[in-house]
Amino acid sequence: MLTLILLLIPLFASLIALFFKGESVKWFSFIISIFQLVFTLYIYFVFSSINDGLDKEITQSIKDSLSINIDWINSPNINFNIGLDGMSLLMVFLTNLLMPLIILSGLNKNQERPQILYSLMLLMNFALIGVFVSFDGFLYYIFWELALIPIYFIALNWGGPNRATVTLKFFIYTLAGSLLMLFGFLYLYWATPSHNLSWVDLTVNHICSCKQGFIFWMFFLAFAIKIPIIPFHTWQPDTYSTAPTQGTMLLSGIMLKMGLYSLLRWLLPVVPNGVAEYTPYVIALCFIGVVYASVIAIMQTDIKKLFAYSSIAHVGLIAGGIFALNMQGFQGALIQMLAHGINVVGLFYCAEIIISRTGTSDINSLGGIRVLSPRFAMYFLIIVLGSVALPLTNGFIGEFMLLFGLFEYHSWAGFIAGLTIILGAVYMLRMYQKVMLGDVNENVTVFENLKWNEELILAIIAILIFAFGVFPKPVLELVEPIASHIFKLSFIK
């Protein structure tokens, strides 16, 4: 019941938002998203109160309040099956944490038809939460596809130059992957003896290992396009630069986590033989992607494209860590998903602040902003260091565990993963030096002080970076049970 409420609030809010006129819709959406965040924290406390010491009945009633399984369609057998476990709750928390920040970032912007924009953002919130709480394959698929529609329209209507072609490429590329996943689900439905797509059944009744390789690729291609993993990444840099900042934050902060989450939820436990067969290739692909994206990022002069490629590099590492198939890999991936979500939203917001004030995104024509706005320089530095994975920041915990997991898989894998951290430091610090440090460039004559909402967002992100960096224990405890469950499921019986 609680989960259903969490899912439906953004949907109803999205419909109500259509009727607002003018700027008040932004406040309405902000209040709704704060309420969602508080509700998510409440659910977290309910969830974490389940421990071994509790009475069986109370545990069961808590579990019942968190999940629903209603018969939706009889034939084919599809149920409205939503629920929460550690992984889902973490992702829902990330979504609801980033949503107020994203909405807050639009407060001082002059956007036309804001009621439609915020309605679409709330609709996207609904679809994203739906992806993370679905435990039935078909329901999950519906939410996965549904999430594509609002972001497409946000990017098409409020985006930058050349948005028609770029967003169309993004839409069709992602849809192509989703349709391959549909084929995979259809196959699984008829191939498993129990004839349904519920997660529990799919992870227990595996199809014969001869076909698992094929189904693995059907699913993996869909996720690889979403994450993205090289060579399926070509839609991403253009889309991230062309979309409006809020769209980019939604895409990079939350939507790509859909792909990573799905690897853990719908790929590893469902086709473990296929995974085992192709893991070396996938890890190789991830590493090629990481190194390639990092090298391109080093060469980039456009700040948004640089962040886009850095995002590819980071998520390539996370995906590689997942395929290392050990507990450190899984836990590191989950923590890093949270950290990357927060950091990349921070990065793109800083890029937006710079671009909106100086009118250019070329790092060569920027410089010395630190002199003009030292507070912004401080926040930006914290976010950059979080992205570089300096110890005490949230990025460090995740990267460290991922490196550990990859090293356990194969020492060379650990070595190459370690390279990524070095390369990441290279492009990030170089970018920071060029943009913020040094002499004030003649293009940057005046740099307004940060407005209240900008400072609030940056401060919150900076606090979160340190908070999760110093005290990651709640997150680790949250994801440990589900990570070990998936670890057990991912092994060939």
**In whole angstroms, how close is the CB of 167 to another protein at the nearest point?**
8
Residue in 93, 118, 135, 171 binding another protein, rule: CB under 8 A: 171
Residue in 149, 200, 378, 456 binding another protein, rule: CB under 8 A: 149
**Nearest Cα to 298, choosing from 287, 309, 288, 286?**
309
Q: Which residue lies nearer to another protein by CB, 33 or 242?
A: 242
Query: Interface residues for another protein in 397-436 (CB under 8 A)?
Result: none
Q: In whole angstroms, what is the distance from residue 173 CA to residue 200 CA? A: 30
Q: Which residue lies nearer to another protein by CB, 4 or 378?
A: 4
Q: Which residue lies nearer to another protein by CB, 247 or 321?
A: 247
Residue in 92, 156, 275, 283 binding another protein, rule: CB under 8 A: 156
Only one of the segments 160-168, 224-232, 339-347, 409-417 lies at the binding site for another protein (rule: CB under 8 A); that segment is 160-168
**In whole angstroms, how close is the CB of 164 to another protein at the nearest point?**
4
Q: Which residue lies nearer to another protein by CB, 59 or 205?
A: 205
Residue in 30, 132, 140, 189 binding another protein, rule: CB under 8 A: 189
Rama region for 391: left / alpha / beta (φ>0; ψ in -120 to 50; rest): beta
Say if residue 55 is exposed, middle or buried (CB neighbours under 10 Å; 0-12, 13-18, 19+).
exposed
Note whether 4 binds another protein by CB under 8 A: no
Note whether 455 binds another protein by CB under 8 A: no
Note whether 172 binds another protein by CB under 8 A: yes
CB 340 within 8 A of CB 388: no
First to last CA, the chain: 35
**In whole angstroms, how close is the CB of 138 to another protein at the nearest point?**
8
Residue in 65, 69, 111, 157 binding another protein, rule: CB under 8 A: 157
CB 309 within 8 A of CB 297: yes
State the binding string over 26-65 for another protein (x if CB under 8 A, else -). ----------------------------------------
Note whether 170 binds another protein by CB under 8 A: no
Residue in 16, 107, 142, 476 binding another protein, rule: CB under 8 A: 142
What tokens does 416 get? 């190459």
Note whether 11 binds another protein by CB under 8 A: no
Query: Interface residues for another protein in 78-137 (CB under 8 A)?
Result: 113, 116
Note whether 182 binds another protein by CB under 8 A: yes
Total residues contacting another protein by CB under 8 A comes to 32
Q: How many residues does the chain have?
A: 493
Note whether 201 binds another protein by CB under 8 A: no
Only one of the segments 54-62, 94-102, 152-160, 389-397 lies at the binding site for another protein (rule: CB under 8 A); that segment is 152-160
Only one of the segments 73-81, 86-94, 244-252, 412-420 lies at the binding site for another protein (rule: CB under 8 A); that segment is 73-81
**Binding-site ranges for another protein (CB under 8 A):** 72-76, 113, 116, 138, 141-142, 145-146, 148-149, 153, 156-157, 163-164, 168, 171-172, 175-176, 179-180, 182-183, 186-187, 189-190
